[in-house]
Amino acid sequence: MTRSARALSVAVLVIVIIVAVLLGLAFWPTRTAPLEQAQAAAGDPQWVERGRLVATAGDCIACHTARGGQPFAGGLAVASPIGNIYSTNITPDPDTGIGRYSLDEFSRAVRHGIARDGSTLYPAMPWPSYARLSDDDVAALYAYFMHGVEPVSNQNRRTDIRWPLSMRWPLAIWRRLYGPGDDARFDGSRYADAQVARGAYLVQGAGHCGACHTPRAATLQEKALDDSSELYLSGGAAIDGWVAVNLRGNDDGLGRWSLDDIVATLRGARNAHQAVIGSPMQDVVLHSTQHMSDEDVRAIAAYLKQLGPGPDRGTSYADSPDTARALMAGQDLGRGAELYADSCAACHRSDGKGNPNGLPAIAGNPTVLTPDPSSLIRLVLTGSMLPSTAHAPSNLGMPAFDWRLSNDEVAQLLTFIRNGWGNKAPAVSSADVAKVRQALADETRSARK
């Protein structure tokens, strides 16, 4: 056999081995510990109520309810890098929902991303976080969805993902490589304080905060699933155009917030700093955190507040009066400053500190300092309205400026804001603004279909 023939044979053998390994990962059965809590399966009222509380902490209704649709009946479009995925019907309807699921099958879906038919669920369903749920909380969830939710007949919608990316079997490989195993239950013993431990359980588990607020690798898995890594909760990608901010102790995170500031945000979508709450987080407050117990909300806040800073992302804040003095003296600080004085200062004031009772501070605002300026650009172009909650019943709004400011003007305005009053964040370019404006146009066209 010639040298080239031997090389070809080795190459073919290597390919065959790789394919065999991949197919083995995809189709080898996944064994998980079974659940057999009989009271939950029978619909004991105490278990049903406990499950309702877990579902509230998990904000299940926000993703599994389409706009104008029936609760938990699915159909909401969830954007992904490869196309829209539509949430499924999780009512107990036996034909289109989860009515035929056993408790064990439900646990495998929730904690391991394995559907009743053996296929792997897209990780848009945050099962890597739900893997931390206790057996009893999963069983309680089952009791709630089977006995506390009305069945709705609503056929699940196929994804918009094109072939070959639409094939499900490769997802099983992803699940085996990057998904947590059957031993991923939450261990609270590593936290000395019981309140912090409870908050860690809620954040890492049912709350699945890391699914949005933790950066992802090129292969789309979260780079960390708990606080053993400083990457955990250090800021994620854009969700519906809004950047998931850093929740750690950095200047562009929660470093300057008190525990009460965090509680106020989870309760009413605003606090003394009046940070910008994007649409996805508004849904979390509306459907989840405002309805949680005071003890659990404070536990979440206590856990987040004790997290140290994440990686340095090149942004910072050091309070400085120089910008306010220059604005009040009428000094020429460039076009960005002129736009701020004309369009922003009346509400946010020349000192950039707004009003703690209603108008967001710009100085030191985590959203202002986030390295990716997409949220700020979207805010200027579209405006925003904070939701009315039981804890903060009045709406707060900011008008849209898309009709009066060009891309270059928005870029100059935001560059000024991100580097005034002691803020230090990267400049915004006209191309950055054009990208967001185009995304907004695409969203409008899609909504009209």
Note the pLDDT tens digit of each residue in 291-309: 999 999 999 999 999 999 9
Band (pLDDT 50/70/90 cuts) for residue 330 is: confident
Band (pLDDT 50/70/90 cuts) for residue 27 is: very low
pLDDT of residue 430: 97
pLDDT of residue 8: 53
Asked whether residue 420 carries a pLDDT value surpassing 70, the answer given is yes
Note the pLDDT tens digit of each residue in 208-252: 999 999 999 988 899 999 999 999 999 987 888 889 999 999 988
Residue type, 285: V
Average pLDDT on 28-57 reads 83
Cα separation, 199 vs 184, whole angstroms = 17
Please tell me whether residue 382 adopts helix, strand or coil conformation: helix
Asked whether residue 347 carries a pLDDT value surpassing 70, the answer given is yes
CA distances to 3, 149, 191, 287 from 146, rounded to whole Å, are: 65, 6, 34, 20
Note the pLDDT tens digit of each residue in 161-196: 888 878 887 888 888 888 888 788 899 999 999 999
CA dihedral sign of residues 399, 402, 406, 411: positive
Note the pLDDT tens digit of each residue in 60-90: 999 999 989 999 999 998 877 778 899 999 9
Query: β-pairing, 85-86 with 77-78?
Result: antiparallel
Band (pLDDT 50/70/90 cuts) for residue 20 is: very low
Note the pLDDT tens digit of each residue in 250-279: 988 999 899 999 999 999 888 876 666 777
CA distances to 78, 88, 148, 262 from 156, rounded to whole Å, are: 14, 6, 21, 37
pLDDT of residue 390: 77
Note the pLDDT tens digit of each residue in 123-151: 889 999 999 999 999 999 999 999 999 99
At residue 347, what are phi and psi to the nearest 5 degrees? -100, -45
Q: Which residues pair with 317 in a beta bridge?
A: 423
CB 172 within 8 A of CB 27: yes
Give the residue with greater pLDDT, 57 vs 168: 57
Terminus-to-terminus CA distance in the chain, angstroms? 62
Place of tokens 């400011």: 405
Tokens for 120? 């792997």
CA distances to 56, 67, 97, 405, 448 from 62, rounded to whole Å, are: 10, 10, 17, 34, 21
Please tell me whether residue 80 adopts helix, strand or coil conformation: coil
Note the pLDDT tens digit of each residue in 434-445: 999 999 998 887
> In the CATH scheme, what is the homologous superfamily, with its name and number, of domain 189-448?
Cytochrome c-like domain (1.10.760.10)
pLDDT of residue 4: 65
Give the residue with greater pLDDT, 35 vs 352: 352
Query: β-pairing, 423-424 with 316-317?
Result: antiparallel
pLDDT of residue 229: 96
Asked whether residue 204 carries a pLDDT value surpassing 50, the answer given is yes
Cα separation, 149 vs 91, whole angstroms = 6
Give the residue with greater pLDDT, 118 vs 182: 118
The domain locations on the chain are 38-184, 189-448
pLDDT of residue 23: 47
**Number of Cβ atoms within 10 Å of the Cβ of 80:** 16
3-state secondary structure 211-223: HHHCCECCCCCEC
Cα separation, 305 vs 322, whole angstroms = 30
